Structure 1
């Protein structure tokens, strides 16, 4: 009996070794604004490459702190370009792997139809009680929102109305739940295939804030992981590009 089972067990064991050799998983830290696109491309990435994507979503500043404290992330999709550049300088990345995967767009949004006009004049009327933004210290979209308010001369006028989310996801939730009448969100959160998917919005002109260049980088922990390299290459490809642009980003 033993002789009969040994070849079968060996075959199963060998198959397991072969699978692990060609399929790995990659731990990816993803800026909250890019949640939708990553979720939309995960199945295709895994089917195309055979690798598994393990994702965490949050604020760029918080991810920076976690990476510095030894978090097991292997690829970082930031909401800005300065944080990956800083990690580069600090020796936390694979040299030469950093690139811009998307350029984000800011939007002023309300869950109410017709509440936000297409020129953003609702901001100046100030007939709202709460204006939601992401924490500008940790979330680049929150920083961009404060730059817009500064540019329009409204920073002090709306200071008492601001409600800060820990990241852009929470800022969006404040508006979606009705706890804030309107808020600055990532266009990608409310946009799909060329149109705003609900409520009303003003797509903020790019000249009102610094460009939201979003960089990706392979982190030091991903240096020897084929899945990390495969995911970065996938992000640069045509299929990922279609998904990214369908959420209102440019490349």
Structure 2
């Protein structure tokens, strides 16, 4: 018989091999605004469970169309709550799996320090040429941006200066590159370790637009996938929520 230390090492090796054999993979469609936190969550999820999450980032509206055309996603992390609800009603998603994993915050942001004041008055004062927003037909943050301009009575004045990103990721790139001096982006895109990057920003009051509730849903094709089920649970864990909060989301 092997001495105890060797027996223990052999037992651990068997356990690790068994865990590897049981590990599964799930393809996850992730709203662009949630890119940074989801990358961290996926890494921690793999470390803690052995399962792998294959991430694709893009516009929620495009993911909806792709899912209907048979794209092999197992989970949708949407930028809104209406798309997952629609998928559930159409039989593409598991209705009782749906939950709000984060509530987003809209921010008017510029890479130029001192350009944006803490009330967003720069929108009235001018001194800039272009403002980036996400396509409101595809991106909830784009719709929230238009609602904000409506609330301020500035839609007509600002519209000629708009440059439109396909999704919130591209919108951020327009602003970060300086091609647009201002951008309505997700707060999560300009935060690091709980603080806004060095720049200038105005966090838009939530009262100026509809709540940006971001829902997750398990897609019907993955209802028996252990990795998909595990990730849906993991997103509601304290570890995941700590990461989500660090990027400026609320619940």
| TM-score strictly above 0.5 | yes
Q: Compute the displacement of 1:22 (Å).
A: 1.4
Q: Compute the displacement of 1:192 (Å).
A: 2.4
Are 1:192 and 1:248, in contact at CA under 8 Å, matched by a contact in 2?
Answer: no
Alignment of 1:98-109 (within 5 A): 98-109=98-109
SS at match of 1:115: coil
Are 2:20 and 2:50, in contact at CA under 8 Å, matched by a contact in 1?
Answer: no
Take 1:241 and 1:76, find their aligned partners in 2: how far apart are those partners? 17
Alignment of 1:61-76 (within 5 A): 61-76=61-76
Q: Compute the displacement of 1:20 (Å).
A: 5.9
Counterpart for residue 7 of structure 1? none
Count of aligned positions:
238
Q: Compute the displacement of 1:118 (Å).
A: 0.9
Alignment of 1:44-193 (within 5 A): 44-193=44-193
Take 2:198 and 2:79, find their aligned partners in 1: how far apart are those partners? 24
Structure 1's consecutive aligned runs of 4 or more residues displaced over 3 angstroms after TM superposition are 14-21
Q: Compute the displacement of 1:221 (Å).
A: 1.4
Take 2:17 and 2:243, find their aligned partners in 1: how far apart are those partners? 34
**TM-score, length basis structure 1:** 0.92
1:244 aligns with 2:244: yes
Are 1:107 and 1:204, in contact at CA under 8 Å, matched by a contact in 2?
Answer: yes
SS at match of 1:63: helix
Q: Compute the displacement of 1:126 (Å).
A: 2.3
Q: Compute the displacement of 1:199 (Å).
A: 1.1
* Cα RMSD for the two superposed structures: 1.5
Q: Compute the displacement of 1:19 (Å).
A: 5.1
Take 2:74 and 2:31, find their aligned partners in 1: how far apart are those partners? 14
Q: Compute the displacement of 1:15 (Å).
A: 9.8
Take 1:139 and 1:26, find their aligned partners in 2: how far apart are those partners? 24
Take 2:190 and 2:157, find their aligned partners in 1: how far apart are those partners? 27
SS at match of 1:158: helix
Moved more, 205-214 or 36-45: 36-45
Counterpart for residue 223 of structure 2? 223
Take 1:182 and 1:72, find their aligned partners in 2: how far apart are those partners? 36
Q: Compute the displacement of 1:95 (Å).
A: 2.8
Take 2:233 and 2:216, find their aligned partners in 1: how far apart are those partners? 11
Q: Deviation per CA, 1:189-227, whole angstroms, max 9, x where unpaired? A: 001233211211000000000000000000011111000
Counterpart for residue 5 of structure 1? none
**TM-score, length basis structure 2:** 0.92
Q: Compute the displacement of 1:40 (Å).
A: 1.4
Structure 1 unmatched ranges of 5 or more: 1-13
Are 2:19 and 2:50, in contact at CA under 8 Å, matched by a contact in 1?
Answer: no
Structure 2 unmatched ranges of 5 or more: 1-13
Take 2:55 and 2:191, find their aligned partners in 1: how far apart are those partners? 22
Are 2:130 and 2:180, in contact at CA under 8 Å, matched by a contact in 1?
Answer: yes
Moved more, 190-199 or 154-163: 190-199
